Amino acid sequence: MENKLIIKDFMSRKPRLSFFAIFTACIGIGLIVTQVQANIAEPSVASRNNPHYLPDEFNPKLQRIEDKIQMVKLEIKEAIRKANGEIAQDPETIHSIAFKGKTSSSKPTYDYTTGSSN
């Protein structure tokens, strides 16, 4: 009861300081709660990927960078193999397909900077 009187007396004598103290306490509590929630979220994602807390070498759901690199290497090798097979099978080149059925005429172009034509 005595503490309540002291707090009320302080708040009535210094309202700005008491408002600042209450405001600072609320902001501090909000920051602490936010930090606690952020710390809880990270392990919960890890626990979904590893619910039994297996070591990394035994966890089949662990995303390892080496596995991703190996998959990319295999995809590149497969794409190169397919590209080489398509080139070997199809003798037409991109230029022959692009210019198929087109006739070209050789008109000389005059170059005004050098004074010559091609």
The model's pTM is: 0.32
pLDDT tens digits along 10-38? 888 888 888 998 999 999 998 888 887 76
Q: Which residues contact 17 (CB under 8 A, 6 or more apart)?
A: none
Residues 88-101 pLDDT 10s:
555 666 667 777 76
Nearest 10 degrees: Cα torsion 15, 8, 33, 20: 10
Q: Is the pLDDT of residue 43 over 60?
A: no
- 6 versus 91: which is more confidently predicted? 6
Say which residue, 111 or 34, is predicted with more confidence: 34
